[in-house]
Amino acid sequence: MMLDLSWFVFGSLVLIALFLDLFVFHRKPHKVSVKESLLLSLFWILIGLGFGLYVLYTKGYQPATEYITGYLLEKSLSLDNIFVFILIFSYFRVPDKYRHKILFWGVFGAILMRAVFIFTGIKLIDMFDWVIYVFGVILLVSAVKLLTTEEKEFHPQETLVYKVAKRILPMKPDISDGRFFVREGKKIYATPLFLTLLFVESSDLMFAIDSVPAILAISRDPFVVYTSNIFAILGLRSLYFAADAILPMFHYLHYGLAFILGFIGVKMLISDFYHIPVAVSLLLILSAVFVSMLASLVSKRMKG
């Protein structure tokens, strides 16, 4: 009965927060300033951490620790996804005032996709023990790729998403006042905003391939895994608007994220022989992000 109530509390809180975000904070399309972005990010962080207190009260210390660790893990890894969003919006030349709308519906789609990925992943691990090793290898490969890729490149015209969309959907080249579709006569056309949304959704799909196996190394409780994942990505939209100005300062951040992916990958590969406590994982995740950011600031100051 408590599980049913917990899911109801979670769902209600998410719906209320999304309603406030779309119909109160962003009722009219506008360019989101860095200050507004940081305040909204703080709002989402407080909601996410506040829900951690609810998990502590209803489920106990261990699930709450897993929730906080999963939340911080997803929050850390999502920083890398923000860079991709910046490239997407830049390529399609999306006006600043329409970017929140795209990110809102992008995250809404991510909520549904993460449910499929997370519950399927848990089911696969329960059915086949060796899947945990596959997930571990995926994370190690991703860590190496993050370390060896100096700069991200974005060539949408070479992607399957772009080719299929261009072939199936009749397109209009103009933004059309922030609409995803426009009607001319009896024909409906997609706008560049809808194509941008498709790329935001597809990027989150690829991002989930890393983040979902990572969080499954922290907990196998569907409630803990899903809620921590969703509360972390809900604040992704708000953080994006400050990221363009703030993240370039932390040019060593990708080393910290690569360490996190590598550590979680190793944690999964050795899980049958040695169990790394969740508290240790939490400490290492926080340390990796802090050290990489601090090193970035120190390096920048020394060069300046």
Mean pLDDT per 10-residue segment, the chain (304 residues): 74 84 66 76 88 93 93 84 79 81 82 86 84 86 79 66 78 76 82 86 79 86 92 80 71 84 88 84 88 85 71
36 assigned to some structural domain:
yes
Q: What pLDDT sits at residue 289?
A: 85
Alpha carbons 14 and 215: distance in angstroms, whole number: 20
139 assigned to some structural domain:
no
90 assigned to some structural domain:
yes
Do 192 and 98 touch, CB atoms closer than 8 A? no
22 assigned to some structural domain:
yes
What global pTM score does this model have?
0.83
275 assigned to some structural domain:
no
Alpha carbons 43 and 260: distance in angstroms, whole number: 26
Q: What pLDDT sits at residue 85?
A: 80
Domain count, the chain: 1
Cα 79 to the center of its chain, rounded Å:
7
State the amino acid at position 196 in one-letter form.
T
163 assigned to some structural domain:
yes
Taking alpha carbons only, the member of 241, 284, 298 closest to residue 76 is 284
Instruction: Return the structure tokens found at 34.
Output: 């860095």
Whole-angstrom CA distances from 285 to 72, 259, 282, 290 are 8, 9, 5, 9
Give the CA-trace dihedral at 66, 110, 42, 295, to 10 degrees.
70
Q: What pLDDT sits at residue 1?
A: 41
Do 74 and 208 touch, CB atoms closer than 8 A? no
Domain span at 108: 2-123+151-241
Please give the DSSP secondary-structure letter assigned to residue 190.
E
155 assigned to some structural domain:
yes
94 assigned to some structural domain:
yes
